Chain A
Amino acid sequence: NAGVMQNPRHLVRRRGQEARLRCSPMKGHSHVYWYRQLPEEGLKFMVYLQKENIIDESGMPKERFSAEFPKEGPSILRIQQVVRGDSAAYFCASSPAGTAFLYEQYFGPGTRLTVT
């Protein structure tokens, strides 16, 4: 059973470009969470999605950032017009459906975004 997969593992973008980060949850998991980790800091929640629905996006910046989890395919975190402050590690996590709060979240290896 493969774990949470994220790609790319490393992404370099120039200021003003778009970044697309992909996350495939563990098999059988229908809840996806995105977190951001700035250097030497803890993880900060960004967004929580279920298939075709954004459940909680309270941690996501209002501008330039968007997320989706389509019926088919991976979850996508999209950052438009990137700035240097977007440089961070972005982690995806997943958990099973049902009584989700009882379950731990399983994390992917992360995508390290560098904006030059």
Chain B
Amino acid sequence: AQSVAQPEDQVNVAEGNPLTVKCTYSVSGNPYLFWYVQYPNRGLQFLLKYITGDNLVKGSYGFEAEFNKSQTSFHLKKPSALVSDSALYFCAVRDVTGGYNKLIFGAGTRLAVHP
């Protein structure tokens, strides 16, 4: 079965420092991986995706993610954090078994960026 793990409930980082939010996955077949961000009382906003190609994927708001097949990881990164980046971040994998394409989400990681 497809699954996603986000091992950290919360990540704290000082403004201006680099940030990493971790994600590991388990899939049979090729992984289709996504990162979304959720602000309080809002829906999810798409940040970036990995389908195929370069292992380093660039997305919205200066975020990027590195796909590592050997470690089955897809960590989200940003070189310099902003206070406005504080939000809930979700990693997801697309379950394409049976021809369907629902998203399987991790439990989420709360990012807190301190001034």
A-B contact pairs, 23 of them (CB 8 A): A4-B43, A41-B107, A41-B108, A42-B107, A43-B44, A45-B103, A45-B104, A56-B98, A56-B102, A93-B44, A93-B103, A101-B32, A101-B94, A102-B51, A104-B46, A105-B103, A106-B46, A107-B43, A107-B44, A107-B45, A109-B43, A110-B42, A112-B41
Task: List the interface of chain B (C-beta within 8 A of A).
Answer: 32, 34, 36, 41-46, 49, 51, 90, 94, 96, 98, 100-108
Task: List the interface of chain A (C-beta within 8 A of B).
Answer: 4, 31, 33, 35, 41-45, 48, 55-56, 59, 91, 93, 95, 100-102, 104-110, 112
Q: Which 6 A-B pairs have the closest CB atoms?
A: A42-B105, A107-B43, A107-B44, A45-B102, A101-B101, A56-B100
